[in-house]
Structures are given as structure tokens and as C-alpha cells.
């Protein structure tokens, strides 16, 4: 296994950075102390943060036009877990993996769970897939899956979701994420309310099969693969279905699934208020569901989302227990580097939101002092919390500078010699 998983290597990488990081940490500590903030408290909060890595994110992603795989591509879930372990080894805040079925199906799920345990990983929410036809599939999902007009096709899609629950139970997961691309490309092609009725009938069967301690995460998306209407198109339809199904159903927010400029942080606040926030698929986008690295385009929006999340925690909002996951497509970068960068970016937004002077903010909100309210948020957003993030990693055995350590390890080159290229380019997200 790679030198990356060897403690001495990471300690060696940290050696020349330690003095610098302690100086920066001390300086930031003094700055925060002037506002009666104990940096050690903030550090503990930073260390409590964790986010799941999508198993499908460690391979090179693509678009409908093409996919340009890199070297050392993971060829199965076992190799994907190896790469996820490397990420967690260096950034120490990604101890869980979100698998996708049937892409990650193996004959012996307990062997998979054992390998994950060996690598210090656990499984987060499992994802079903009724947006592609599998080779041995009887009924096509061309015209939909859980909402298809044909009963046999709906039953096939329901069965797949029930199988995913069984896979998840074997892996120790506690949630099923259901995203369906069902919709239409032409006005008149689909009867909107009948399609949603079929969706509810199908998901009720899946919901009733959930173990007591499980949840169902419903994921909405504005468009793609359908380009005129999507059955679960927006948070409104999503939360209505979650309310219709019951307490174990909640609404998952994938940042890229909204029209440009939609106020996602307000959607988050609404879902929290109605105890229906399942969690997130973090990524970033400029146009559509671009699945770009989290915080790479609009870091202030990501911060504002965490401002709502930290505010809910601060107010001990009832039923507040969101799941944090990344969901990205790495078309032009090394997926491991992008996932490390993105995990740190989301952790950064969380820590910055923890540094918002919430009582002062409430005061300005009550007195309608708009400018000072905005400045109170900006003050936290402009704080460079890098020393806290690096110290959090250092104190949990990670790398002060994950990217530098990863490149120094030459992991990608090493693993490429063990993973001959499939030569498969093709197109599509995986």
C-alpha cells in the first residue's frame, strides 16, 4: 500500500511546515482572543466537521461529449476505497464514503465493509440509479423509472431501490438517496400531476421498506437529463413529497441543481424550519449542474449556506441533523486533489460561519441595521482560518499541506503501475 498511509511519511512532510503553522495559529489566536473567541474551541469544532466522499468522484468525470480518463483510474469500488483512504489520511475530515449502485455492487458486501474498516472508512448514504439502463435490464428507463407510465418498469425501479437498501444494510449505511431524472423534453409529453402521483405511489413502497433507523433523502434537480420538465424539479416539490411520505423522508440539496442566482441559503433555512433538511451534495457551478469543485466559483454562497446551518445549531433547531456529502465531477484535475481541496473548502465555510458574532447579528437584524448585519457576516467570511484547518489536520495525524504531501508521495504514478488503463474513454459522468 502507498507510503501515504505510512505515518512517518506524513510527519516528514509536516516537519518543515510545523514552525510556520504554529506561528500563524498563535497570531490568529491572539486576533480572535481580542473578540473573546478561544481558538482552541474553534479548533475542536473544526475537528468535529466531516464530509462524505462520493465513490463516483474518485474516477475522472466527463460530459456527454467526452471523458478523458487520467492515469491510475480506480477500476472498482475496492480501488475507489483505496483512493478515499488516501484523501482521509491527508485531510482527516472525510471518514465516510457514499456508494452508488449498481456501479459499486460486489458479490460479497461484507468483504467490502471489512476493507473499508481496514482503511478506517465507513459508508454514508447509498445512492440508487434508475437513470441508466443496465445490460441485463428488462424494462428501459428511457421514458422514466419510478414515474414511468408502465407498471412493470416502475416495479423494476422500486425493486432496485429495495436492493439498494439491502446493500446499505450490509455496509452499515443509514440512508438511501433517491434522485430520478424522470421528466419530459416536449410540452404535452407528460401529465404533470399523474407523473407525480406515480412517483409518490412508487416511493411509498420504498419508504415502507426502510428500516426504522433509516432515512430517505429525496434529491431535486431543475433539469438534465430531461430538458422541458423534471418530476422532482425544485425544493417545493421535493419537500411536499417528503411531507407526504413521512418523518423518515427528507429533502437533499445538491447545490448545482438550482437555476443560477437562486437563493439556496434561504431554501436551506426553510427546510431546517420544517425539519426536512436531509443534507447536501456540495459542489459549485456557474451555469447548470456543472459539478465543479466546492467553493471554486461562489465561496460566499457556500459560506452563507453554512451561516444558516451554524445558526440552526446555535438555536438548537429541532430535528437538525444534516448529512454532508460532496458530489462533483472531476473532468480536468486529479480527482484526489480536487476532493481534498473541496473537503477543505467546505470545512473552511463551516469554521468561518462558526466565527460569526451571532448575537451582534441578531441585534442588527432586530434594529434593521442592514449594513452592519451584512458586515458582521463579511467579517467572518474574510477571516483566513487556514491555520485552524491546518492545525486540525496536524493534531489528527493528517498533513499540514495535503496537496504538497500527495504530490510528494507520487501516489498517482505509483498506483498507475498497479492499475493498467482500461483505455475506455467514451463519455458521461463516470
Q: What's the angle, vertex CA 58, arms to CA 298 and CA 172, rounded to 5?
A: 105
Residue 265 CA to its chain's centroid (Å): 16
CB of 180 to Mn ion, least distance (A): 12
Residue 232 CA to its chain's centroid (Å): 19
127 in contact with ligand LRH (CB under 6 A): yes
Which partner, ligand LRH, Mn ion, none, binds residue 148 by CB below 5 to 8 Å per kind? none
Total number of residues binding ligand LRH (CB under 6 A)? 10
254 in contact with Mn ion (CB under 5 A): yes
Which partner, ligand LRH, Mn ion, none, binds residue 56 by CB below 5 to 8 Å per kind? ligand LRH
Give the Cα separation of 422 and 203 in Å (integer): 37
219 in contact with ligand LRH (CB under 6 A): yes
Q: Which residues does residue 251 pair with via DSSP β-bridges, in sequence order?
A: 218, 277
Give the Cα separation of 333 and 339 in Å (integer): 10
Helix (H) or strand (E) holding 249: strand 249-254
Closest CA to 181 of 137, 127, 135, 136: 127
CB of 183 to ligand LRH, least distance (A): 12
Which partner, ligand LRH, Mn ion, none, binds residue 127 by CB below 5 to 8 Å per kind? ligand LRH
For ligand LRH, the binding residue among 182, 265, 289, 344 (CB under 6 A) is 289
Nearer residue to ligand LRH within complex by CB, 254 or 308: 254
290 in contact with Mn ion (CB under 5 A): no
Residue nearest to ligand LRH (CB): 179
Residue list 28-67, contact with ligand LRH (CB under 6 A): 56
Give the Cα separation of 264 and 13 in Å (integer): 39
Q: How many residues does the chain have?
A: 430
Give the Cα separation of 313 and 204 in Å (integer): 31
CB of 371 to ligand LRH, least distance (A): 37
CB of 303 to ligand LRH, least distance (A): 22
Nearer residue to Mn ion within complex by CB, 28 or 180: 180
CB of 219 to ligand LRH, least distance (A): 5
Tell me, residue by residue from 258 to 287, as one string, x for binding to Mn ion by CB under 5 A and - for no binding. Answer: -----------------------x------
Alpha helices by DSSP H, listed for 209-319, are 235-245, 264-273, 299-314
Nearer residue to ligand LRH within complex by CB, 21 or 290: 290
With beta carbons less than 8 A apart as the criterion, state whether 152 and 160 touch: no
CB of 38 to ligand LRH, least distance (A): 38
Q: CA-based diameter of the chain, in Å?
A: 67
CB of 126 to ligand LRH, least distance (A): 11
Tell me, residue by residue from 179 to 218, as one string, x for binding to ligand LRH by CB under 6 A and - for no binding. Answer: x---------------------------------------
- How many Cβ atoms from other residues are within 10 Å of residue 249's Cβ? 24
Query: Which stretch in 129-137, 254-262, 361-369, 379-387 sits in contact with Mn ion by CB under 5 A?
Result: 254-262
- How many Cβ atoms from other residues are within 10 Å of residue 290's Cβ? 18
Query: Cell numbers at residue 393, please?
Result: 489536520
Give the Cα separation of 104 and 127 in Å (integer): 10
254 in contact with ligand LRH (CB under 6 A): yes
How far CA 407 is from CA of 7, 10, 13, 410, in Å, comes to 16, 12, 11, 5
290 in contact with ligand LRH (CB under 6 A): no
List all residues 6 or more positions away from 291 whose beta carbon is below 8 Å from its beta carbon.
61, 256, 283, 285, 327, 328, 329, 429
Total number of residues binding Mn ion (CB under 5 A)? 3
For Mn ion, the binding residue among 82, 293, 327, 344 (CB under 5 A) is 327
Give the Cα separation of 239 and 244 in Å (integer): 8
Which partner, ligand LRH, Mn ion, none, binds residue 82 by CB below 5 to 8 Å per kind? none
- Give contact residues for ligand LRH (rule: CB under 6 A): 56, 127, 179, 219, 221, 254, 281, 289, 327, 429
Amino acid at each position: 500500500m502507498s507510503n501515504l498511509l505510512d505515518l512517518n511519511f506524513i510527519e516528514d512532510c509536516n516537519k518543515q511546515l510545523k514552525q510556520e503553522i504554529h506561528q500563524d495559529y498563535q497570531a490568529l489566536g491572539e486576533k480572535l482572543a481580542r473578540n473573546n473567541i478561544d481558538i482552541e474551541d474553534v479548533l475542536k469544532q473544526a475537528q468535529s466537521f466531516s464530509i462524505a466522499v462520493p465513490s463516483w468522484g474518485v474516477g475522472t468525470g466527463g460530459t456527454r461529449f467526452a471523458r478523458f480518463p487520467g492515469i491510475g483510474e480506480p477500476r472498482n469500488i475496492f480501488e475507489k476505497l483505496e483512493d478515499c483512504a488516501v484523501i482521509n489520511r491527508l485531510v482527516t475530515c472525510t471518514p465516510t464514503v457514499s456508494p452508488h449502485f449498481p456501479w459499486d455492487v460486489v458479490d460479497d458486501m461484507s468483504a467490502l465493509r471489512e476493507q473499508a474498516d481496514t482503511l478506517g472508512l465507513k459508508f454514508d448514504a447509498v445512492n440508487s440509479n434508475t437513470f441508466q439502463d443496465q445490460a441485463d435490464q428488462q424494462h428501459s428507463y428511457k421514458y422514466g423509472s419510478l414515474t414511468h407510465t408502465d407498471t412493470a418498469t416502475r416495479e423494476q425501479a422500486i425493486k432496485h431501490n429495495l436492493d439498494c437498501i439491502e446493500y446499505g444494510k450490509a455496509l452499515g449505511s443509514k440512508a438511501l438517496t433517491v434522485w430520478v431524472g424522470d421528466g419530459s423534453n416536449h410540452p404535452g409529453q407528460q401529465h404533470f400531476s399523474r407523473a407525480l402521483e406515480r412517483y409518490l405511489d412508487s416511493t411509498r413502497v420504498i419508504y415502507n421498506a426502510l428500516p426504522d433507523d433509516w432515512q430517505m433523502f429525496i434529491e431535486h434537480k431543475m433539469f438534465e437529463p430531461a430538458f422541458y420538465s423534471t418530476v422532482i424539479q425544485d425544493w417545493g416539490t421535493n419537500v411536499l413529497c417528503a411531507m407526504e411520505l413521512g418523518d423518515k423522508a427528507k429533502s437533499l440539496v445538491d447545490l448545482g441543481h438550482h437555476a443560477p442566482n437562486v437563493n439556496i441559503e434561504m431554501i436551506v433555512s426553510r427546510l431546517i424550519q420544517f425539519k426536512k433538511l436531509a443534507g447536501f451534495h456540495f459542489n459549485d457551478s456557474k451555469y447548470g449542474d456543472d459539478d465543479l469543485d466546492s467553493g471554486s466559483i461562489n465561496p460566499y454562497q457556500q459560506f452563507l449556506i453554512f451561516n444558516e446551518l451554524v445558526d440552526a445549531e446555535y438555536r438548537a433547531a429541532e430535528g437538525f441533523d444534516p448529512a454532508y456529502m460532496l458530489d462533483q465531477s472531476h473532468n480536468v484535475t486529479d480527482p484526489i486533489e480536487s476532493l481534498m481541496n473541496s473537503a477543505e473548502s467546505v470545512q473552511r465555510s463551516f469554521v468561518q460561519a462558526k466565527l460569526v458574532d451571532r448575537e451582534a447579528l441578531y441585534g442588527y437584524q432586530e434594529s434593521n441595521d442592514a449594513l452592519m448585519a451584512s458586515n458582521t457576516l463579511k467579517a467572518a467570511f474574510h477571516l483566513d482560518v487556514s491555520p485552524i484547518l491546518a492545525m486540525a489536520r496536524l493534531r489528527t495525524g493528517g498533513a499540514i499541506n495535503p496537496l504538497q504531501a500527495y504530490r510528494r508521495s507520487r501516489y498517482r504514478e505509483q498506483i498507475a503501475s498497479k492499475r493498467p488503463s482500461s483505455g475506455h474513454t467514451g463519455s458521461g459522468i463516470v
